[in-house]
A and B are shown apart, each in its own frame.
Chain A
Amino acid sequence: MRDDAGQGEFEFGLKPLWLRAQAGDEAAYRDCLLRIATRLRGYLRRRMQGLPDDVEDLVQETLLALHLQRGTYDPTLPVSAWVLAIARHKLVDLWRRRGRRDDLHDALDDVDETQLVAASEETGTQRDLDKLLQELPEAQRVAIVLTKVEGLSVAEAAQRTGASESAIKVQVHRGLKRLAQRVRQ
């Protein structure tokens, strides 16, 4: 990948943090995801020049996929290779979906020129997290809100809802999976 200069430096900074994150260090994990998001933004922006408004959507979709699949990371491999393989997969998936839709809707040439200017920093997306959470089944939504928005531990969330700890974990995972599916549409 010749157009991905700085890959070595990125990997060098990321790998030790990532290994700590995999072992359960949440601060390290958050830091990793922030670094990865920046990297993904650059990677995707270069490849999505016709769809600048979709870049951040795909960054978020890729982050969700990374999180759900973090168990498939193999520590003998570079983290960046793993991250970019998933990003590439998501990009191909987007092209395929878009390719079909663009046949039905307006061609890229019809897009207003001013919309093609990409913002230089993160602008967020049109998606509303609260609204996405509202669409989840009750048990999944509650599990996510308690542990991931309010920041309760799994044990506390289990006590609050009367569900078992493993049930809470399962609901969180299922909820995030469903969120990833919703975000992909």
Chain B
Amino acid sequence: MKTEALIDLLARGAGAAPKHAVERRLWPVALLGLGASALFGVLVLGLVPMSVMMEANWWFKFAYAVSLVAVGGWLTARLARPVQRLGWPQLVLMTVVAAMGLLGAWHWFTAMPELRLAELLGHSWKTCPRNVVLLSVPPMAAAFWALRGLAPTRPRLAGAAVGLFAGALGAAAYALSCDELSMSFVAVWYTTGIAIASALGALLGPWLLRW
């Protein structure tokens, strides 16, 4: 086949390029993923009592997860294109994680020394990262599917971004049924769960994102 013949074929009746191709593919996945994780989490693990949700610390925890969902989605959208500009989203990611780290450290140092370890470990440190990772599975599958229809040229990094996005969604959903209110707990265990999901994404990326 002559390349010119292929070009004729591609150009004929090509019409305009699809608009917002990346956004149109990622948004439904984000909403679906959030719904699936939240539903799954609440059905299996139950919802925290209203009194817990009235606490400011619960909202800090939830806001942390939601900010990471946003920045993970942002990174995923940037990495879905062949040329990536990652400066801003990377900066925001580091700021969000650093802010949570500071909050956790502040909580640790202002707590009474004999209570610090109990505050850090809570009653669920063994299950928290695992639950976050488990709840990240549905959005991770959906986000990988969405990205497969786009053009990621750095599959490992794109996979890590998908993992971050899905892990944070998992964390947001898990926050609905987790009554731990210590900021040092959230800074360590939530972050660990999200980091594991992100590492999982980075492992799967080169394998799933071939085109």
Contact = CB atoms under 8 A, between A and B. Distances in A.
Interface string A150-173: 011110000000000000000010
Contacts of A60: 1, 3, 6
B211 interface: yes
A5 B153 CA distance: 23
Interface in B110-151: 150-151
A128 interface: yes
Interface of B: 1-22, 80-83, 85, 150-151, 153, 210-211
26 contacts: A23-B16, A24-B14, A26-B14, A30-B11, A34-B7, A56-B3, A60-B6, A63-B10, A69-B150, A71-B20, A71-B22, A72-B81, A74-B81, A77-B83, A82-B83, A85-B83, A88-B153, A93-B210, A93-B211, A122-B2, A124-B1, A124-B2, A127-B1, A144-B9, A149-B9, A154-B13
Given A72-B21, A88-B153, A82 B11 contact: no
Nearest to A127: B1
Given A82-B83, A85-B83, A129 B7 contact: no
A81 B83 CA distance: 7
A128 B82 contact: no
Given A59-B3, A65-B211, A71-B22, A86 B153 contact: yes
A88 B11 CA distance: 23
Contact of A37 (B7, B18, B153): B7
Interface string A79-114: 001100110110001000000000000000000000
Nearest to A122: B3
A72 B82 contact: yes
B16 A129 contact: no
B153 to A, nearest CB: 4
Contact of B21 (A71, A127, A144): A71
Contacts of B11: 26-27, 29-30, 33
Contacts of B150: 69, 72
B82 A69 contact: yes
Q: Which 9 A-B pairs have the closest CB atoms?
A: A71-B21, A24-B16, A71-B18, A30-B11, A85-B82, A89-B153, A69-B151, A70-B17, A124-B2
Contacts of A93: 210-211
A65 B83 CA distance: 15
Given A67-B14, A71-B19, A37 B9 contact: no
Could you say which interface size class chain A belongs to? Answer: 35 or more
Most chain A beta carbons < 10 A, residue from B8, B18, B21, B151: B151
A63 B14 CA distance: 13
Contact of A151 (B5, B13, B80, B210): B13
A147 B12 contact: yes
A82 B82 contact: yes
A37 to B, nearest CB: 5
Nearest to B12: A148
B13 A129 contact: no
Nearest to B155: A89
A24 B17 CA distance: 7
Contacts of B80: 72
A130 B5 CA distance: 11
B3 A63 contact: yes
A162 to B, nearest CB: 19
Contacts of A148: 9-10, 12-13
Contacts of A85: 82-83, 153
